[in-house]
Copies of this chain bind each other. A is one copy, B any other.
Amino acid sequence: MDAQDHSARKEVLPPSPAPGVASALRIRRFDPDRRNRIVDAVLAVIADNGVAGTSFRKIATQADVPLGSMTYHFSGMQELLETGFERFVSQSLARLEDRLKPARDHRDARGIILAIVHEDATADPPRYLALSREFQALVIRDPALRNIANKWVEGSAGILKRYFDPITAEILEILMDGLTLRRGVARMEGEPLAADAVARVIAGFWPLGAGKDTVS
């Protein structure tokens, strides 16, 4: 049946512990910021277990929230993933912006970009790498996530455009992601490769490249 038994249930609940006291024991009835914690937990669980290994239970445990809370705050896994994805994008953009803030020119920017790639590729656990691939995998099959993906792409490129021409910025954005994966997974040493790849792309950049005559 899709309905439960209507007979009385009246369990013997803890008779409301002395108010003001405990609260870390297990009561927390009023808990704003709970949604926040859940969204953070979503990202943590996905990063550790992949979307395939993600469950309401794990998220609830990670967020220190009762299982029943999950579908109270979120309609289902879909909404949870969307909200998590959104936060991941926001955090990623904020970080890129933050890291690039000290850069005065494209030369500085290049150095920082390579540093970011290095950090993300060698981070342990590989949070960015794991989350980015999980969400890329999701967005390919779920058009409802396209908007968030576009915010990601356009946001990143937008930040890079402060230092590079639009095309260069777009290419760099793509390359950063790919280089991070390569360095994070592949056997070979990737540092020089990343530097070279970035250099080549930037070589087509107007202040250096004296025109885009390299295109056939």
Known: A167-B193, A196-B204. A141 touches B146 (CB 8 A): no
**Within 8 Å of chain B (Cβ to Cβ): is A153?**
yes
Tell me if A29 is interfacial: C-beta within 8 Å of chain B: no
Task: Give the nearest-CB partner of A179 in chain B.
Answer: B174
| Given A146-B187, A178-B174: A52 in contact with B6 (beta carbons within 8 A) | yes
Q: For this complex, into which size category does the number of interface residues on chain A fall?
A: 35 or more
Judge if A97 is at the interface, Cβ distance under 8 Å.
no
CA distance A52 to B208 in the complex (A): 46
Assess whether A5 is in contact with B140, with CB atoms less than 8 Å apart: no
CB atoms of A196 and B181 under 8 A apart: no
List of B residues within 8 angstroms of A154 by Cβ: 187
B214 touches A197 (CB 8 A): no
Complex interface: chain B residues within 8 A of A208 (CB) = 214
